[in-house]
A and B are shown apart, each in its own frame.
Chain A
Amino acid sequence: MLQSAIERLGAAATNLVFELGRMASFLAVLVLQLLKPPFRFRRLVRETYDSGVLSLALVCASGLTVGLVLGLQLHSVLVRFGAEESLGAAIGLTLIRELGPVLTGLLVTGRAGSAMATEIAVMTATEQIDGMRTMAIDPMHFVVGPKALAITLAMPLLSSLFIVFSIIGAYLVAVQLLGLDAGVYFSSMNDAVEFRTDIVGSLLKALVFGALIALVATFRGYHSGRSAEAVGRATTSTVVTASVCILLADYVVTSLWEF
C-alpha cells in the first residue's frame, strides 16, 4: 500500500522531469529554427492576425470593464481615508505593474493559446505535420516558429492596450461618475508611475508571459496524440499549464525586476 503510493509519487516526479526536458529541447529547437533563414515574414503577419488582431476586441473590452470595477472599488476604499486624490496613482501602479500583463496573459492564453494548440494538434493528428516533413519542409520552421513568435510579440502590444483601456475605464468612473477632478487623477498617476521600473517592467512581463504561452501552446499541440481525445487534452492542458506558468513567472519576474 505504502510502497505503491511511493512508487506513484516517483513515477509522477520522473514524468515531470521528463516532460520538462522534452520542453527544454523543444524550446532549443524552436529558437534555432527562428534564427535560421529564410525569415518567414508573411507567415508571421498571418499568425499575428490570428493571435493578435482577433484578441483585440476581447482585450479592449476586458480592460475597460476591469478599469470600471477597479475605479469603483479603489475609490470606495480610498475615500475612507480621504485619499481619493491618490486614485490615479493606485490605478496606474496596479494596472501597469500587475493586472495589465497578468490578465492579458490569461485572456490571450484562453483566446489565442488554446486555438494555437488545437490547430497544431489537429495538424499532428491528421498527419499534416508528417506530410510537411515528407515534402522536406521543416514544420518547426514553417508552422511552429511563426506562431510562437507572433504570440510573443503580440503580448506587449495587447497588454499596453489593456492598460490604456483600463485607465480610460477608471477615468469614466472616477471623473465622470464620482466627480474626481480629471487633472488630479492624471497628475497623481503621472507622479507615481516611473518609466524604468514600472513601464519597462510591465513590457518585460508581457514579453515573458507571451513567450511562455507560445512555448506551452506549441509544445502541447506538437506533441499531442493522434486521436480526437488527444487534441482536446492538448487544448485543456495548454490553458491550465500556461495559466499556472504565468502566475508563477509573475512572482519570479516581479522579485527579480523590482527588488
Chain B
Amino acid sequence: MQTSPSRDLAVGLFVLIGLAALAYLTLQVGGLSTTGGLVLHANFTQIGGLAERAPVVISGVKVGRVEKIELSDDLDARVTLEVDDHLKLPVDTSASIRTAGLLGNQFIELEPGAEDALLTSGGEIALTESALSIEKLVGSLVHDAGLSGDEEATQ
C-alpha cells in the first residue's frame, strides 16, 4: 500500500488532540492528583449529611477530600480523609463538620493545633466536632416556643 504523509500527519494530529482532550478532562475537570495524599482518620458521633468526596478545608482553603465514611466498632461514624501530603498538621489538630450556607453541602474544617509533633499518614484526629443538625435545632426551637406559648396561655 502506498503511504501518504499528509494523511499520516492528519491521523497523528487527531490522536494528539484526542489525547489532549482526555488529559484536560482527567487533570482539570476530574481533578486527579498525581501524588498520594496524607490519610487521616476521625470519629464523629454525628456526621449529618456529610458525603464521600466532600471537601476538607483549612481556613477556607481546600486541601483534600473525604475518602470513606463507615461505621466504627463502637457505632461512631469513622471518616477517612485524604489531604495534601506536604501539609504539616500538629497532632492536636481538630476536625469539625461545617455547612456551607444554611442548606449547603457539608464539609470538614481542620483547625491546626499547637503541638510540635506532626500527624503522619494513617494518623487519628482525636478532637472532633460533630455536625450541627438543622432538624434538631429547629425541633428544639419549636419545642421551646411551644412551651413558652403554653406558659403564656396558662397565665
Contact = CB atoms under 8 A, between A and B. Distances in A.
Interface of A: 42-43, 45-46, 48-49, 52-53, 56, 92, 96, 154, 156-158, 160-161, 163-164, 167, 186, 189-191, 193-195, 198-199, 202-203
Contact of A160 (B3, B7, B22): B22
Contact of A45 (B8, B24, B30, B55): B8
B1 A46 contact: yes
B11 interface: yes
15 contacts: A46-B1, A49-B10, A49-B11, A52-B15, A56-B14, A154-B14, A156-B18, A157-B14, A157-B17, A157-B19, A157-B21, A157-B22, A193-B31, A198-B30, A199-B26
Given A42-B3, A96-B25, A163-B25, 19 more contacts: A45-B8, A45-B11, A48-B11, A48-B15, A56-B17, A157-B15, A157-B17, A158-B18, A160-B18, A160-B21, A164-B21, A164-B24, A186-B28, A193-B29, A193-B30, A194-B31, A195-B30, A199-B26, A199-B32
A160 B8 contact: no
Contact of B18 (A42, A92, A161, A194): A161
Contacts of A43: 1
Interface in B37-51: none
Interface residues of B, number: 24
Interface of B: 1, 3, 7-8, 10-11, 13-15, 17-19, 21-22, 24-26, 28-32, 53, 55
Contact of A195 (B14, B18, B31, B55): B31
A199 B32 CA distance: 10
A160 B1 CA distance: 31
B140 to A, nearest CB: 28
Contact of A203 (B1, B7, B14, B22): B22
B1 A191 contact: no
A223 B13 CA distance: 34
A203 B18 CA distance: 12
B101 to A, nearest CB: 10
B56 to A, nearest CB: 12
Could you say which of A186, A195, A198 has the most chain B C-beta atoms within 10 Å of its C-beta? A195
Contact of B7 (A45, A156, A186, A190): A45
A164 B22 CA distance: 8
B80 to A, nearest CB: 16
A163 B28 CA distance: 13
Contacts of B15: 48, 52, 157
A56 B17 CA distance: 10
B55 A191 contact: yes
Contacts of B7: 45-46, 49
Contact of B17 (A45, A48, A156, A161): A161
Contacts of B29: 92, 96, 167, 189-190, 193, 199
A48 B26 contact: no
Contacts of B14: 48-49, 52-53, 56, 154, 157
A218 B112 CA distance: 62
